[in-house]
Structure 1
């Protein structure tokens, strides 16, 4: 890979289609909204800064106050969060999702 530094976040096989995984060590959520399409978002809820902890049924959830975000684009799906989860730039290569610019 050339360009900005990147850090491996997760193997693509570990990210379920229609769902995602929280990579706590990097404070990021990696999702796969549809097969072969990946996205990554900051894992910090835009409501009061809690870390999101769960991804299920197409939704990223923050258990602190019930905010929910869509796996496709990080937009607010419910709860008190005022704005979407910030998107992180990624590169997918050789079965691994990399965060561009590091953690």
Structure 2
């Protein structure tokens, strides 16, 4: 074989080896990320976030409603996992919003009961009044996500 042909063959083989090695490395990195022992977050069965009115006549520039106010019980709340927000009503007519991601490991919180927002991953509890830590390993309160009552809906403030 000529030196020119041998050089071309080596170059192609080298490229294939590099591409194959990069593919294997990428797959290994991808598989390495699958070892988390955290349970998967489950979507909430709470009221779903609403969108523009069915007639398509939403008010231009108006915030998209998060949930109907009637769906948020006094002394409780709803988890809108798809929007990563918890809306609570600690007392009649007072609505609060917080991040639905636990400040311990980032799990989406599971339920709102007994005046607390509960994360089932490691049993952290947060107050429905101000998001403060009430128990568990969470290091800091849930970040506030300001909300307000607009008509019959809760919307981002």
Given the two structures, how large is their TM-score scaled by the length of structure 2?
0.60
Structure 2: 5+ residue runs without aligned partners?
1-60
Pairs aligned (count): 97
2:90 is the alignment partner of 1:33: yes
For 1:91 and 1:38, the matched residues in 2 are separated by: 7
Where 2:154 maps in the other structure, the secondary structure is: strand
Structure with more strand by fraction: 1
Larger radius of gyration: 2
Structure with more helix by fraction: 2
Structure 1: 5+ residue runs without aligned partners?
none
Instruction: Indicate the RMSD between aligned Cα atoms, in angstroms.
Output: 1.2
Which aligned pairs between 1:51-66 and structure 2 lie closer than 5 A? 51-66=108-123
Q: Deviations over 1:41-74 (max 9, x none)?
A: 0000000100001001100000000100000000
Aligned to 1:84: 141
Moved over 4 A (4+): none
Given the two structures, how large is their TM-score scaled by the length of structure 1?
0.90
